Amino acid sequence: MKFENHQLYHIYNQGNNRRRIFFQRKNYLFFVEKIKRHILPYADILAWCLMPNHFHFMIYVKTVELPIAAYLKTRTLNESIGIMLRSYTRAINLQQGFSGSLFRKETKASCLSEMTKITPAFINSKAGTKINIENIETQYPKTCFRYIHANPTKAGLVQKDADWEYSSARDYNGSSNDGFVNKNRTLALFDFES
């Protein structure tokens, strides 16, 4: 993964061979704490969703590298995500009696800011499919934002996106406030009226 300051990213990974990565409610909550510790110092989280066998984050990177005072060196966001996933894997392996890798080898990070330069937004209407050239810089990120929140509904786990406990959809509908989603940044970046 290669990150740049002041860019939007969609980060995702899934269980090795599509296996479960969350087995109990406490696993989801433990992973949320890891997100707060390992991603928040570097980035604003705009959307997230933890599914039984995969996860998604939409982040706005504030800085790709931070100093580690105790060691007089720096750590990158990429390294911090790696530490987060390895430490979570160790905990699950201990809990479940597993060994080896819990996640797929590579965590993916798609730069949403770059994708808007090459990916037009399409609109389906009664007249057919057409390219939406209005606000193209926000169309793909908004689609990704909605996609992240729709995962539990599409999987048949809940009736409405905000019913899934392990997602930021609840923050945006007002039924929860987990304290780590930056709704102000999201609203500044996206015009949800269009």
Burial of 189 (0-12, 13-18, 19+ CB in 10 A): buried
pLDDT at 116: 52
Distances (CA, A) of 104 to 21, 23, 33, 149, 152: 11, 17, 21, 22, 20
Tell me the one-letter amino acid at 9.
Answer: Y
Residue ranges, the chain, pLDDT below 50:
117-119, 133, 194
Residue 79: predicted pLDDT:
95
Q: Are 121 and 139 in contact (CB under 8 A)?
A: yes
Our CA dihedral for 57, 187, 177, 76, rounded to 10 degrees, sits at 40
Fold type of domain 8-185: Alpha-Beta Plaits (3.30.70)
What global pTM score does this model have? 0.85
For the chain, what are the domain ranges? 8-185
pLDDT of 19-42, one tens digit each? 999 999 999 999 999 999 999 999
DSSP 8-class letter at 44: E
CB-side exposure of 21: number of CA atoms within 13 Å? 29
Residue-wise pLDDT tens digits, 118-144: 445 555 556 555 555 455 555 789 999
Position 122 scores a pLDDT of 54
Check residue 111 and give its pLDDT: 92
